[in-house]
Amino acid sequence: MTNFEKETPFERLKASIEEMNAHRAGRSELPPENIHFAGEPDPRQIRAQMQLSQEDFAHVLGISVRTLQNWEQGRRRPTGPAMKLLRIAERHPELLLEMA
């Protein structure tokens, strides 16, 4: 059994908070894939709500299907303008569809 498995949920949460604070203070480096922000748009959920195939949703966003698949499978995260487009798709899907 690993140390992680022996820790209580509280201990894991406390360690996570300590790691976050150390990162914020510049005392540690975290790989980008380990940094997540609450409230990030979920491309798969947005696409499902819009009832679009991966191909159609990628076309609406102006990205490749492969990029969308990477986002949906957690291999990559949308950033910058792509994040903004996803927020628009999440809150005002009709605007994005109209522009497509």
The model's pLDDT over 28-67, given as tens digits with 9 standing for 90+, comes to 776 766 666 667 889 999 999 999 999 999 999 999 999 9
One DSSP character per residue, 33-68 reads GG---TT---HHHHHHHHT--HHHHHHHHTS-HHHH
The pLDDT score that the predictor gives to residue 52 is 96
Contact 46, 38 (CB under 8 A): no
Residue 1 has pLDDT above 60, yes or no: no
Copy the structure tokens of residue 73: 């499978």
Mean pLDDT, residues 17-35: 78
pLDDT level of residue 89 (50, 70, 90 thresholds): very high
The pLDDT assigned to 6 comes to 74
Counts of helices then strands in the chain (DSSP H, E): 7, 0
pLDDT value at residue 32: 64
Q: Helices 54-61 & 80-91, crossing angle to 10 degrees?
A: 110
Higher pLDDT: 80 or 54? It is 54
CA distance 89 to 48: 11
CA distance 31 to 28: 10
Nearest Cα residue to 61 out of 47, 40, 42, 76 = 47
